[in-house]
Amino acid sequence: MSWALIPLTEEQRAIQQTAREFANAELAPHSARWDRDASFDRDVVKKLADLGFLGMMIPEQYDGLGLDTCTYLVALEEIAAVDASVAVLMSVHNSLPTQMILRYGSEAQRTHFLTKMARGEWLGAFALSEPDAGSDAASLTTQAVRDGDDYVLNGVKAWVSHGSMADVILCMARTDTPAERKGARGISTFILTPDMVGLTTGKKEDKMGLRGDPTVQLALNDLRVPSANLLGEEGMGFVYAMQSLESGRLGIAAQSIGIARAALEASVAYAAERKQFGKAIKEFQGIQFKLADMATKVTASRALLHAAAAAKDRGQPVTQFASMAKLMATETAMWVTTQAIQVFGGYGYVKDYPVERLFRDAKVTEIYEGTSEIQRIVIARELYAKS
Ligand SMILES: Cc1cc2nc3c(=O)[nH]c(=O)nc-3n(C[C@H](O)[C@H](O)[C@H](O)COP(=O)(O)OP(=O)(O)OC[C@H]3O[C@@H](n4cnc5c(N)ncnc54)[C@H](O)[C@@H]3O)c2cc1C
């Protein structure tokens, strides 16, 4: 049921098939264990890399596949339909750190970092949030102070997806002084590597869902970062992060559609098997209406996402469309997984069937890379900007 209303090209269908076969063979047998133990096999990163899935939108000159956004999202949906934790790793790496280095990095940074990231030898993470700076990310307080040829960073970054496994971390920190606070324009982006003295992994969060992808705090204590690792211009780091989050939000929308689709497919199959009152529950109109609404929302979310991705690939500004696509797909994922549990009845509430995990995995999509409330703020702001 991964039909796209907007037809896929032959190349997109081939990549979709590759992603689906990979997910079923390499992820499906392990997903329940990774979820139960909050663990993850690093081997998966190597396997994703072998398929080119960690450099999908990076040009071939930097060893990427040079594909468009839509093709990347088709592959991501297939991964998410089987394992949403692996999908968030793939989404963050492809949408945030690699795109930031590609768009704003120097040629030396692209050659050094991007080629290895495109080949999947180095995994990327994105460190914007802090314990006291979430939706209001521009209020972050991690401080970077210039000292000769280096910057010295102090602070705590929070909620860093696979931050404990990452080889390259794009970290936002203040470069304005407390006396000259410049708000969002006082923030710069630094490229960190785990070998840097003063960078330590802190608390690993014990999460409701997405338990395969470790979410950690990072402590920066007198962390010395060479000025060569400043990304782009000083003071532009927040702008870079926000621009890259547009791609990120499309990725989270694809992840959400994968989760919702998996819940729909499981529900359709279960409703045909489960018998009550002498017949399969799919014969009851109450169940049919639920399945119909679930399928409609999944299809509408995917159509909006693919249209937004196509607009991005045409070079159109997509701030509003990316927020709409994320808002619709993530709320669809939460709603559809809730309905799926209802279709399964008591069996939906236990771990014997996959819908219980899908429901837990769906919730975070409404929270990270901008909550649903923040997406609505962005959409409304653009309405007034356009008028
Ligand atoms: C599993 C997970 C992985 C994550 N991965 C990363 C990562 O890799 N890198 C990274 O930098 N961050 C990451 N995050 C952080 C994530 O982006 C933040 O959790 C998110 O931005 C919300 O911030 P907060 O949790 O501090 O909530 P808060 O900002 O405190 O919000 C609390 C509530 O208030 C609402 N709210 C806030 N402001 C407004 C407003 N103006 N109007 C209306 N409502 C408002 C919010 O919508 C929310 O409902 C991750 C989070 C999780 C849970």
Catalytic residue, candidates 21, 369, 373, 382: 369
pLDDT at 11: 96
The proportion of the chain whose per-residue pLDDT surpasses 70, expressed as a percent, equals 99
Contact by Cβ (8 Å): 153, 122: no
Considering only CA atoms, which residue is closest to atom 48 of ligand 1? 371
Domains of the chain: 10-118 (1.10.540.10), 124-235 (2.40.110.10), 239-386 (1.20.140.10)
In angstroms, rounded to a whole number, what is the distance separating the alpha carbons of residues 316 and 384?
A: 18
pLDDT at 178: 87
DSSP string, 103-134: HHS-HHHIIIIIHHHHTTSS-EEEE--BTTBS
Ligand 1: centre distance to CA 215 (Å): 14
Report, in angstroms and rounded to the nearest whole number, the Rg of the chain calculated over CA atoms: 21
Tokens of 350: 């236990």
Contact by Cβ (8 Å): 11, 36: no
Ligand 1: centre distance to CA 21 (Å): 34
Buried b (16+ CB within 10 A) or exposed e, 180-196: eeeebbbbbbbbbebeb
For residue 3, name the pLDDT band (cuts at 50, 70, 90).
low
26 noted as active-site residue: no
Ligand 1: centre distance to CA 217 (Å): 14
Task: List helix spans (H) across 274-363.
Answer: 285-313, 319-344, 355-363
Give the pTM. Answer: 0.97
**DSSP 8-state assignment for residue 279:** E
159 ligand 1 Cβ < 6 A: yes
Pairing of strands 124-127, 168-174: parallel
255 ligand 1 Cβ < 6 A: no
Q: Using one digit for the tens of pLDDT, what is the confidence trace for 121-177? A: 999 999 999 999 999 999 999 999 999 999 999 999 999 999 999 999 999 999 999
Q: Using one digit for the tens of pLDDT, what is the confidence trace for 241-290? A: 999 999 999 999 999 999 999 999 999 999 999 999 999 999 999 999 99
214 ligand 1 Cβ < 6 A: no
- Indicate whether 193 pLDDT > 70: yes
Residue 140 backbone phi and psi in degrees, to 5: -60, 150
Ligand 1: centre distance to CA 130 (Å): 10
160 ligand 1 Cβ < 6 A: yes
Q: Using one digit for the tens of pLDDT, what is the confidence trace for 25-58? A: 999 999 999 999 999 899 999 999 999 999 999 9
Ligand 1, from 135, 140, 256: best to mutate by most atoms within 8 Å of Cβ? 135
Q: Using one digit for the tens of pLDDT, what is the confidence trace for 218-227? A: 999 999 999 9
Ligand 1: centre distance to CA 159 (Å): 9
Q: What is the mean pLDDT of residues 323-344?
A: 98
373 ligand 1 Cβ < 6 A: yes
- Indicate whether 2 pLDDT > 60: no
Q: How many CA atoms lie within 13 A of 133 on its CB side?
A: 20
